[in-house]
Amino acid sequence: MRVKLGIAVLLLAFAAAVYLWPSSWEPRQAPVPVDAVPAGQASVPPAFDGTNGWAVQGSGDPQLMYPVVAPRAGVVVFRAYGSTSRLVARDEKSGTLRWATRPIPTPAPNSTEASPLLTAKDGKEYAVLGISESQLTHLYVYDTASGGDQVAPAREITVAGGPVTYSAFAGGLVAVGGDRTTSVVDVTTGQTTTYPDQDAALRPPRACGGCEGRDRVVGVTPSGPLVEGSGAFWVPGGWLVGGSAGTALPTGQVLAASPSGVWALHDGRTGDIQASVTCRRPDDGTIRNSIVSSDNRYLLAGPVAFDLQAHQGICLQPSTSDKKLDLTTVDITGTAYGTAGGTQVSVSLRTGQATPLPDALLPDYVGGNVAVLGKATSSGEIRVYQRR
């Protein structure tokens, strides 16, 4: 009896040692980072309820950052960053944990890492975490309708080449832009197509008066890659627009801006113009920081805005205006937030009407039915408030 008892004690001790000992063949899973707590009352814009919110706090390991709203699943997705990386999704209304991914080892300090990307295909929505080290990029793909605290990726995809940019587009596509190549990845299948800059396959579909020379893929359309040349952009074997700079949108459409100040929304399949407006020309001739609402309806691009479904554009800041407009986020009602001439405002992208909000705490990001204040827990807390 004593022998049996002794063997049992030894087995229990061995089992405990295996559980606690840092082993390469059965690592202990890290706990879910940072609990949600009720947010304090805040003077948020009138569209949101400053008494109804939740928050995540903490500056230790890990930190939470880069919050984005996945509208189909109704969750706020955070990047958890520290000794490991993972995605954490909380219910946009209550802050309750909906899912968290398994930890991913954090690569070397010289690696490039990005905020979560969102894309959808065949009725499913995906959150994508990109991590790059040296000359390899790893894409970890998760279903936003997942559940549990140790969610495995639906797919892991490795792409050759270190990235400069990550961008998500319609149809489950993510573009990874490197120094001399761009790879377009279907995150639902893993199919990857790599386009070297100035490759023969990227030539314009017709003569364009010397617009070739720096051909580079800058986005994805339903008809193929969007290529930027010298004063023109096109889809190889498809359509071409000269005399303008262009950028691909996550809806599959393309926004163009000419030196004369004509902004045009193009159908990504045909290149046909869906809407146009004359406004302040781009400062450096290129379109930067275009922002699309979380439901993919409203586009904000510097001095102009478009309703992408109704195919209507509006000039928010004529060239004669002396009040510089700096809008940083737009919600699903077509209301943008930022400053005009240094004064905090909300602006209707349907009418162009600006409303002063001098005493409000402006959201850093709005998506779904929530406003998000704060970008990282390392600088304090991230608060989420509900729409009224």
pLDDT exceeds cutoff 80 at 54: yes
- Amino acid identity at 166: Y
Residue 301 has pLDDT above 90, yes or no: yes
Whether residue 29 has pLDDT greater than 80? no
Strand ranges inside 71-206, DSSP E: 75-81, 84-91, 97-101, 104-105, 112-113, 117-121, 124-133, 136-143, 148-151, 155-160, 163-169, 173-178, 181-186, 192-196
Read off the pLDDT of each residue in 3-26 and give the average, rounded to a whole number.
37
Task: Name the residue with higher pLDDT: 211 or 44.
Answer: 44
How far is the C-alpha of 73 from the C-alpha of 206, rounded, in Å? 43
Q: Rounded to whole angstroms, how far apart are CA atoms 35 and 42? A: 20
Please report the pLDDT score of residue 32 as a whole number.
67
How would residue 210 be classed by pLDDT, with cut points 50, 70 and 90? confident
Query: What is the pLDDT, as a whole number, of residue 136?
Result: 87
The proportion of the chain whose per-residue pLDDT surpasses 70, expressed as a percent, equals 87
Encoded tokens for 221:
């359309």
**Is 7:15 a contact under the CB 8 Å cutoff?**
no
**Residue type at 359?**
D
352-370: average pLDDT? 95
Res 64 pLDDT > 60: yes
The whole-angstrom separation of Cα 78 and Cα 230 is 38
pLDDT band at 59 (very low <50, low <70, confident <90, very high): low
Task: Give first-to-last CA distance, the chain, whole Å.
Answer: 69
pLDDT at 30: 57
Comparing 237 with 161, the larger pLDDT belongs to 237
pLDDT at residue 115, rounded to an integer? 87
Distance of CA 107 to the CA centre of its chain: 21
User: Higher model confidence: residue 313 or residue 134?
Assistant: 313
**What's the pLDDT tens digit per position in 167-179?**
999 999 999 998 8
Q: Which residue has the higher pLDDT, 124 or 163?
A: 124
DSSP 235-283: -TTS-EEESSEEEE-TTS-EEEE-TTSEEEEE-TTT--EEEEEE-PPPT
Poorest-confidence range of 142-146, 298-302, 318-322?
318-322
pLDDT at 105 over 60: yes
| Predicted local distance difference test score (pLDDT) of residue 24 | 32
Most confident of 198-202, 262-266, 350-354, 376-380: 262-266
Task: Using a cut of 0.75, tell me whether the model's pTM lies above it.
Answer: yes
Confidence at 2, pLDDT banded by 50, 70, 90: very low
Q: Is the pLDDT of residue 25 over 50?
A: no
Q: In the predicted model, what is the mean pLDDT of the chain?
A: 87
- pLDDT single digits (tens) 90-104: 999 999 999 999 998
Between residues 126 and 8, the one the model is more confident about: 126
Is the model more confident about 60 or about 23? 60
Which percentage of the chain shows pLDDT scores above 90? 69
Output the pLDDT for position 112.
59
Cα 76 versus chain centre, distance = 12
Tell me the pLDDT band of 331, cut-offs 50, 70 and 90. Answer: very high
The mean pLDDT value for 288-309 works out to: 94
Residue 260 reports pLDDT greater than 80: yes
